Amino acid sequence: MTLIDLTTPVARSSRLDGLPVAIIGAGPIGLAAAANLAERGIDFVIYETGANAGSSIQKWSHIHFFSPWKHLIDPACRRLLEAAGRTVPDGKALPRGGEFVAAYLEPLSQLEAIAPRIRYGVTVDAVSREGMDRTRTAGRADTPFLLRITDADGVQEVTARAVIDASGTYLSPNSLASSGLDPLGLPAVAEHISHALPDVLGSERARFAGKRVTVVGAGHSAANTLLNLAALKREEPATQITWLIRNATAVRVSTSPDDELATRAAIGQRVERLIEAGAIEQLDRFEILRLSPAAVGVRLTGHRAGEVVDHETDVVVNATGFRPNLDMLREIRLGLDDIVEAPKRLAPLIDPNLHSCGTVEPHGFAELQQPEPNFFLAGMKSYGRAPTFLLATGYEQVRSISAFLAGDIAAASNVQLVLPATGVCSTGATGSSCCS
């Protein structure tokens, strides 16, 4: 793995002069990157797939964060909002996803320093270097990045001096199958498979009320959905809830009583009480092999206790966590950990077998750099398949990256982070709402 010189940013050549930094994603981390770059007078363009800032968070707008407002606001964003006379949320309240977008991300995205630089409805299909695939080395650091994008006008290409990929992982769920591959038979039953964190008490109520619902996954996304389904069952008693997990127990939602994120600490206990009361059936040690249509609903076939068994249900909620979309980066030189798919220098710091959300060490550009000069993964995507992500961690990442791109190596290297003490978040829990 060839690393760039940590003592100075890559020199800007005449080919890079005047080009913006490309930010992929207008979520909280992408907007924080924009705020930090704006404060340093560095031009940028944000490419966002959705029609508004925080479009992925809107998909789970009904779910509460585990962190209070005071841990959810980026310092540079706060300064920009306050300078514009905007009210900035603060305090100990735990906002829902929709409240977070409405009270924070939308006002932030509308600021004069940011709004003209966001392009909505744009999908970044691929990132490369102008006139270079990943095999060419000579002059690579001085060659502009090339982003192939799709928008309402079709496919086109744009250039940038640097790229911060803050596109997140919510749109790339893990597989239902234990192999990591899509289970056999998935296309034939796709209509019975729900995304993580469905709004079972609101907009999607009709899909779940009175149905047999199986939630697959052992993390906090699964636990949140189970609690909402239990509330639905109290109103619609015919609703049947099964929690399917691969292991004997779901230790991933059993956090320490010392967890400063009290709501998260209690979630596992609430689910356990519902299981004990018979409101939720737990189907443990079940590894899904294939899916097939049943007379009514869908049949899950898997291994359990050494035998091949079937489980039939009406709706399956895929709450197995998320993974980064790396297909778009085939022509970028990446140095990723073989296991969690995070940057190699970052991976040991976030290993979910050793670290909780609150024990991750401060880190910045040095840990996030790639063999591709001036290309950075940031936010949840930088964590690969590890679930132990806090927004505050991502905010410090992009502060450091922005300082590096500005040539302020002292500030870029001075990474500091104060996180709430937390219990253990193990592999398989989701990132978007597990810790933030």
Asked whether residue 176 is domain-assigned, the answer is: no
pLDDT one-digit tens code per residue, 171-188: 999 999 989 999 999 999
396 and 262: one domain? no
Point out the domain boundary residue: 272, 301, 318.
318
* AA letter at 407: G
193 and 131: one domain? no
Asked whether residue 12 is domain-assigned, the answer is: no
314 and 332: one domain? no
Asked whether residue 3 is domain-assigned, the answer is: no
The more confident residue out of 420 and 209 is 209
CA 390 to chain centre: 10
CA distance 30 to 24: 7
Report whether 160 contacts 22 (CB < 8 A).
Answer: yes
155 and 232: one domain? no
311 and 369: one domain? no
CA distance 398 to 364: 7
pLDDT at 358 over 80: no
Point out the domain boundary residue: 258, 284, 318.
318
pLDDT at 414 over 50: yes
Asked whether residue 191 is domain-assigned, the answer is: yes
pLDDT at 385 over 70: yes
pTM surpassing 0.75? yes
286 and 216: one domain? yes
Which residue bears the tokens 């050793």? 354
pLDDT at 264 over 70: no
Q: How far is CA 197 from CA 175, 224, 364, in A?
A: 15, 7, 30
pLDDT one-digit tens code per residue, 314-339: 999 999 999 999 999 999 999 999 99
pLDDT at 431 over 60: no
- Provide the token pair at 397: 């990442």
42 and 161: one domain? yes
Asked whether residue 436 is domain-assigned, the answer is: no
CA distance 395 to 75: 8
Alpha-helical runs (H) found in 61-173:
75-83, 97-100, 106-109
pLDDT at 142 over 60: yes
Which residue bears the tokens 């310092």? 75
The CA radius of gyration of the chain, in Å to the nearest whole number, is 22
The pLDDT value recorded for residue 306 is: 87
154 and 88: one domain? yes
CATH label of the domain that carries residue 282: 3.50.50.60
Question: Containing domain of residue 202, as a range?
Answer: 186-318
State the Cα angle at 83 between 80 and 89, rounded to 5°. 70
Asked whether residue 432 is domain-assigned, the answer is: no
Asked whether residue 31 is domain-assigned, the answer is: yes
pLDDT one-digit tens code per residue, 70-110: 999 999 999 999 999 999 999 889 999 999 999 999 999 99
Which residue bears the tokens 């079709």? 154
Which residue bears the tokens 């840990």? 367
* AA letter at 12: R
Point out the domain boundary residue: 318, 340, 362.
318
The pLDDT value recorded for residue 268 is: 83
The pLDDT value recorded for residue 8 is: 46
167 and 225: one domain? no
pLDDT at 421 over 80: no
Per the structure, the count of domains in the chain is 2
The pLDDT value recorded for residue 248 is: 81
Average pLDDT over residues 21-28: 98
The pLDDT value recorded for residue 266 is: 79
Task: Please state, as a whole number, how many other Cβ atoms lie within 10 Å of the Cβ of residue 4.
Answer: 18
The pLDDT value recorded for residue 263 is: 61
Predicted confidence band of residue 340 (pLDDT cuts 50, 70, 90): very high
301 and 330: one domain? no
131 and 195: one domain? no
135 and 44: one domain? yes
pLDDT one-digit tens code per residue, 33-67: 999 999 999 999 999 999 999 999 999 999 999 88
Asked whether residue 119 is domain-assigned, the answer is: yes
Which residue bears the tokens 């002059």? 139
Predicted confidence band of residue 416 (pLDDT cuts 50, 70, 90): confident
